[in-house]
A and B are shown apart, each in its own frame.
Chain A
Amino acid sequence: MAERHESFGGLLFTILVALVLSVIPLPHYIELGRPAFLVLTVLYWSIAAPRLGGISLGFFSGLLLDLFRGAVLGENALALSAITYIFVREHQKIRLKPAFQQCLIVFGALVFYEAILFAIDGWSGHPLTTPWRWLHTLVGAIIWPLVSATLDRSRGVR
Chain B
Amino acid sequence: MAFNAGAYRASAPRGAPGLRFTVYAILAVALMVLDRRGGWLVTVHYYMDAAVYPIQLAVNSPTRAWNWVRDTLATRESLQAENATLSARNRELALRTQRFAALQRENAELRGLKAALPPLAERWLVAEVVNVELNSQHQRMLLNRGAGNKVFRNQAVLDATGVLGQTISVSPWSAEVILITDPEHATPVEIQRTGVRTIAVGTGDTDSLALPYLPTNADVKDGDLLVTSGLGGVFPQGYPVARITDVRHDLLQPLAQIRATPLARIDAAREVTLVWFQPGHPAAPARGHDADGNAALQPQEAPPLEPIPPLNLPRLKPRPQAPATDSRPDAAPAQPARPVQAPVTDKRA
Q: Real complex partners, A and B?
A: yes
Q: CB within 8 A of B35: which of A51, A68, A72, A96?
A: A72
A141 at the interface (CB under 8 A from B): no
Q: With the chains together, A59 CA to B132 CA distance in Å?
A: 25
Give the residue of A25, A78, A98, A152 whose beta carbon is less than 8 angstroms from that of B28: A78
Q: Which residues of the other chain, A, contact B184 by a CB distance below 8 angstroms?
A: 126, 128
Closest to A28 in B: B134
Contacting pair A54 B17 (CB below 8 A): yes
Give the interface segment out of B6-14, B111-119, B297-305.
B6-14
Chain A residues 51-101 with CB under 8 Å of chain B are 51, 54-56, 58-59, 62, 64, 67-70, 72-75, 77-78, 81-82, 85, 88-89, 91-92, 95-96, 98-99
Decide: A24 near B63, CB < 8 A? Known: A31-B135, A128-B183.
yes
Q: Mark B43-61, 1 if CB is under 8 A from A, else 0.
A: 0110011001001101110
Within 8 Å CB of B138, what residues of A?
69-70
- Identify the stretch in B19-27, B84-92, B230-238, B325-333 within 8 Å (CB) of chain A at 4 or more residues: B19-27
B24 touches A20 (CB 8 A): no
Band of interface residues on A: 35 or more
Contact of A120 among B32, B56, B132, B206 (CB under 8 A): B32
Check if A85 sits within 8 Å of B17, measured CB to CB.
yes
Interface residues of A in 21-40 (CB under 8 A from B): 23-25, 28, 31-32
Q: Tell me if B287 is interfacial: C-beta within 8 Å of chain A.
A: no
A74 and B17 in contact, given A68-B52, A132-B136 (Cβ under 8 angstroms)? no
- Chain A, residue nearest B26 (CB): A78
Number of B positions contacting A (CB below 8 A): 59
Contact: A54 with B52, CB < 8 Å?
Answer: no
Cα separation A126 to B21 with both chains bound (whole Å): 26
Give min CB distance, A134 to chain B, whole Å: 12
Instruction: State in angstroms the CA–CA spacing of A133 and B30 once bound together.
Output: 26
Q: Does B5 contact A (CB under 8 A)?
A: yes
CB of A109 within 8 Å of the partner chain: no
Whether A85 contacts B21 in the complex (CB less than 8 A), given A24-B63, A72-B36, A128-B204, comes out as yes
Q: Mark B69-98, 1 if CB is under 8 A from A, else 0.
A: 000000000000000000000000000000
Q: Which residues of B are found within 8 Å of A49, using beta-carbon distances? A: 8, 11
> Which residues of B are found within 8 Å of A148, using beta-carbon distances?
1, 3
Chain A residue nearest to B37 (CB atoms) is A124
B120 at the interface (CB under 8 A from A): no
Contact residues in A for B30 (Cβ distance below 8 Å): 74
| Residue contact B132 to A25, C-beta cutoff 8 Å | yes
Do A23 and B17 touch (CB < 8 A)? Answer: no
Contacts of B8 in A (CB 8 A): 49
Q: Known interface pairs A72-B36, A78-B32, A128-B137. Does A54 touch B13 (Cβ–Cβ under 8 Å)?
A: yes
Give the interface centre of B9, B14, B17, B29 by most chain A CB atoms within 10 Å: B17
Q: Which of B11, B28, B31, B56 contacts A68 (CB 8 A)?
A: B56
- Take A31-B135, A99-B1 as given contacts and tell me if A88 and B31 are in contact as well, using a CB distance cutoff of 8 Å: no
Decide: B25 and A82 in contact? CB cutoff 8 A. Answer: yes
Any chain A CB within 8 A of the CB of B253?
no
**Residue A19 CB within 8 A of the other chain:** yes
> CA A21 – CA B329 in complex, angstroms?
56
A55 touching B21, Cβ below 8 Å: yes
A residues near B312, Cβ cutoff 8 Å = none
**B residues engaging A (CB < 8 A)?**
1, 3-14, 17-18, 20-21, 24-25, 27-32, 34-36, 41, 44-45, 48-49, 52, 55-56, 58-60, 62-63, 131-138, 140, 168-169, 176, 183-184, 204, 206, 347-348
Question: 6 A-B Cβ contacts within 8 A?
Answer: A23-B131, A24-B62, A47-B3, A48-B3, A64-B52, A149-B1
